[in-house]
């Protein structure tokens, strides 16, 4: 049985597998020759399709330790999936209620990375709402990175929501999380010390 940890990067809205943070993680793993596998899929533009895509991916590696690393909307997805699969998660400036933030994207959109056009409807906002997780469940394998000057998300709300998790809060910055490369070494130290034995569906 392959016991190599698997890191899955979950990109944010209107982003892609080519996101800068995903590339930084990939470069760090290669430079340090870390004994992990790293996947960074291009996700479907629609919430439930993206979740199904990620569920299928995690299920393929359910005999291994898995860590989900999600940014913004990807952090929202990571929270939901981490609870479903009982895996470790790292969230970077995570969205808490994206269904309230994304109403101005209703209609036709184009992903600037992939060129894909898609249409968001109120149904998709309801789909996002169905993925929301109350702050009650345990955060023992959850790390959250927050920069207080995030211009998109409310840093105070995020820190309050994740008060039971390991929260690393830095003053300043922005939604992209400036200087993310400075955190890679401690983030991977944290991941290796908080691994779940293997991914499995919560009963």
- For residue 198, pLDDT over 80 is answered with no
Dihedral of the alpha carbons of 134, 138, 140, 141, in degrees to the nearest 10: -60
Residues above pLDDT 90, as percent of the chain: 81
Q: Tell me the pLDDT band of 136, cut-offs 50, 70 and 90.
A: low
Query: Hey, which residues does 110 pair with through a beta bridge?
Result: 117
Q: What length does the chain have?
A: 203
Q: Give the pLDDT mean for 72-79.
A: 97
pLDDT at 137: 63
Break the chain into its structural domains and give their ranges. Answer: 6-193
**What residues have CB less than 8 Å from 30, skipping those under 6 apart?**
none
The answer to whether residue 6 scores a pLDDT higher than 70 is: yes
pLDDT for 1 equals: 57
Q: What is the pLDDT of residue 138?
A: 66
Judge whether 161 and 31 are in contact, CB under 8 Å: no
Q: Which two tokens stand for residue 187?
A: 């983030």
Across the chain, mean pLDDT equals: 93
**Tokens representing residue 156 in the block:** 């105070």
pLDDT of 202 > 70? The answer is no
* Among the ranges given (61-65, 73-77, 133-137), the one the predictor scored with the smallest mean pLDDT: 133-137
Identify the CATH homologous superfamily for domain 6-193.
Alpha/Beta hydrolase fold, catalytic domain (3.40.50.1820)
For a pLDDT cut of 70, what percent of the chain falls above it? 97
Q: Which long-range contacts (CB under 8 A, 24 or more apart) does 44-53 make?
A: 45/109, 45/111, 45/116, 45/118, 46/118, 46/120, 46/124, 46/127, 47/77, 47/124, 47/127, 47/128, 47/131, 48/127, 50/77, 51/77, 51/80, 51/81, 51/131
Predicted confidence (pLDDT) at residue 196 exceeds the cutoff of 90: no
Residue at token pair 């990375």: 113
Greater confidence (40 vs 62) lies with 40
Confidence of residue 61 (pLDDT cuts 50, 70, 90): very high
Q: What is the model's pTM?
A: 0.94
The yes-or-no verdict on residue 140 having pLDDT over 90 is no
Q: Quickly count: other Cβ atoms within 10 Å of residue 79's Cβ.
A: 28
């Amino acid at each position: 049985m392959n016991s190599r940890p698997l890191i899955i990067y979950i990109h944010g809205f209107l982003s892609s597998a080519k996101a800068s943070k995903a590339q930084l993680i990939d470069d760090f793993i290669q430079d340090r020759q870390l004994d992990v596998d790293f996947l960074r899929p291009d996700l479907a533009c629609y919430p439930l399709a993206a979740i199904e895509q990620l569920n299928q991916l995690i299920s393929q590696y359910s005999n291994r330790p898995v860590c989900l690393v999600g940014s913004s909307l990807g952090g929202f997805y990571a929270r939901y999936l981490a609870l479903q699969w009982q895996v470790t998660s790292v969230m970077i400036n995570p969205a808490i209620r994206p269904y309230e933030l994304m109403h101005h994207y209703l209609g036709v959109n184009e992903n600037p990375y992939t060129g894909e056009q898609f249409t968001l409807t109120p149904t998709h906002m309801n789909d996002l709402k169905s993925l929301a997780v109350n702050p009650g469940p345990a955060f023992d394998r959850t790390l959250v990175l927050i920069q207080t000057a995030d211009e998109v998300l409310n840093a105070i709300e995020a820190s309050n929501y994740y008060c039971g998790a390991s929260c690393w809060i830095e003053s300043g910055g922005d939604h992209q999380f400036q200087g993310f490369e400075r955190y890679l070494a401690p983030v991977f130290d944290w991941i290796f010390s908080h691994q779940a034995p293997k991914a499995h569906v919560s009963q």
